[in-house]
Amino acid sequence: MSKTKSFWDNASKNYDKTEERFEYIHQKSRKNTKKHLESTNVVLDYGCGTGTTACNIANDVKEIYAIDISSKMIEISKGKATEKNIRNVIFTQGDIFDENLKKESFDRILAFNMLHTIPNPEKVMKRINELLKHDGLFISTTPCLGDKMSFLVGLQIRLVQILCKIGIIPIPIRRLKSSELDNLISKGNFQTVDSEKIYKEVFSYFVVAKKKSFKI
């Protein structure tokens, strides 16, 4: 078991509770997302966590493939879907680089609250571009830890970065700015079509970006 998977498995137990303080951001992001969904869409929810977003938007799309590296997160997600009688979401433990994910097979790809925690964002953006259909949309919300945040959150982030440095937390926590996310998305061959900075103790950057068509 990788250290990263083990970390998220352990975090799954209290994940929903720890996210309650940012519920305003989550609700706003989901509301914004629904404006860009269609009933015929096949969606990939990358880093689905405990499945709250996938379950929330299930009625707005045709089908959702929701993946997360943590098997414990997936267990919780499946329980939520069963409880709500949601049948068009397939929860699977996995990674965005899994070979069973076919190129140009998704209308929308979601990545909520995770671009600041992955080892190689540039490589991930390239993969997302490959998996999206022509003119597909990438939709994300990312905490901008390099922008404005409350004093308390700032202290917590500094503590987390110390724990990352000494290896207790085995994931990178980047203090990204919204401008850096804009640059990452642009370099990934996307054009931003909608964005909003949402603040609740920390800025989170909601972005919708369209896959660009290559000119031949």
By CB atoms closer than 10 A (0-12, 13-18, 19+), residue 17 is: exposed
| pLDDT bucket at 215, cuts 50 / 70 / 90 | very low
| pLDDT bucket at 214, cuts 50 / 70 / 90 | low
Task: Write the pLDDT tens digit of every residue in 175-205.
Answer: 899 999 999 999 999 999 999 999 988 899 9
147 or 72, greater pLDDT: 72
Neighbours of 163 (CB within 10 A): 13
Distance CA 60, CA 67 (A): 19
Q: Tell me how far CA of residue 141 lies from CA of 26, 31, 176, in angstroms.
A: 9, 12, 12
Task: Write the pLDDT tens digit of every residue in 15-43.
Answer: 999 899 889 999 999 999 999 999 999 99
Q: Tell me how far CA of residue 88 lies from CA of 39, 41, 83, 193, 204, in angstroms.
A: 12, 11, 14, 27, 28
57 within 8 A of 37, measured Cβ to Cβ: yes
